[in-house]
Amino acid sequence: MILIADCGSTKIDWCLLNGGEKVAQIFTTGMNALLLTQEEMTERIRTELMPHIVSYDVTEIHYYGAGIISDEIRSHVVAALQANIPGATHIEVETDLVAAARALCGHKPGIACILGTGSNSCYYDGERIVDNVSPLGYILGDEGSGAVLGKLLVGDVLKHQLPEHLCEAFLREYETDRTAIITAVYRKPEANRYLAHFAPFLTKYMHEPAIHDLTLRAFKAFFVRNVQSYRDYDKLPCNFVGSLAAHFKPVLIEAAEQCGITIGNIMVAPMEGLIRYHAC
């Protein structure tokens, strides 16, 4: 039996496959392997996952997760899984970007992108990632991400670059002001998540020309500064996974067309694509 894990910092989506058929799906607390020790991951898997799968004979594990940035971290995840599921004879631990590429492209070449709180992209040859433009995080990069969209929106509100009624609506709906925003961004942790939580305001007011223009420019920046760096970017489909991509699909397609890029698949989450990939 195959166990697939799509692991983010907030939650993990676990799926059990038997002969290509989904037999169970479990959600547990997220794990960022960069931030947790091997012992902490082992314990979390033991207490949150194992009660649900103890009766299944798992022989193969494919784990895709946040924080897999080195072989050492990868080995810690493998050890945590082995400690709980000793019968697994094959354990693969890969990044969330590999998950996106396999889910979106399968065994065909293409450009795979993630749009969420952060953003990322890669050139995938159908078997492996052969090129990756570093996302650089929301301060230096992460174009098109929720954090950057929120940063642009907040900046335009506080500098009065948006029509007055939109500035007033933003401050009223989030019950905030300049001091609260600056404090949250510069003095509190996880400013990227704070900024990203303003993205729904953009979808709500997308009919407003100023909001449409802000969002369109943000996605065009993603294509210009990331996707257009890959060879054959104008010949291969550009695919996306992430709730942000799904929510902003119309303007994302508009931006792609203006940059000479063809949109392929858009998925909210990679699990269904990963099931197809590993069921083959």
Specify the pairing of strand 263-267 against strand 238-241: parallel
9 pLDDT above the threshold of 80? no
Grade residue 213 by pLDDT with cuts at 50, 70 and 90: very high
Mean pLDDT value across residues 38-60: 94
Q: For residue 183, how many other CB atoms are within 10 A of its CB?
A: 10
Tokens of 24: 């169970």
**Which residue is associated with the tokens 């050492």?**
72
> What does DSSP assign to residue 206?
T
Q: Note the pTM of the prediction, 2 decimals.
A: 0.87
77 pLDDT above the threshold of 90? yes
User: What domains sit in the chain, N to C, each tagged with a CATH number?
Assistant: 2-88 (3.30.420.40), 101-269 (1.10.720.160)
Closest-CA residue to 49 (of 74, 83, 22): 83
Q: Are 194 and 182 spatial neighbours (Cβ–Cβ below 8 Å)?
A: no
Mean pLDDT value across residues 41-57: 94
pLDDT tens, 153-208?
999 999 999 999 999 999 999 999 999 999 999 999 889 889 999 999 999 999 99
pLDDT of 218 reads 97
Beta strands in 66-137, from DSSP E residues, in sequence order: 90-95, 110-115, 119-124, 129-131
Mean pLDDT lowest among 5-19, 101-115, 216-230: 5-19
The single-letter code of the amino acid at 84 is N
Q: Are 17 and 28 spatial neighbours (Cβ–Cβ below 8 Å)?
A: no
Cα 172 to Cα 213: distance, rounded to the nearest angstrom? 22
CA 26 and chain centroid, separation: 19
Instruction: Give the Å distances, CA to CA, from 19 to 45, 58, 98.
Output: 24, 12, 23
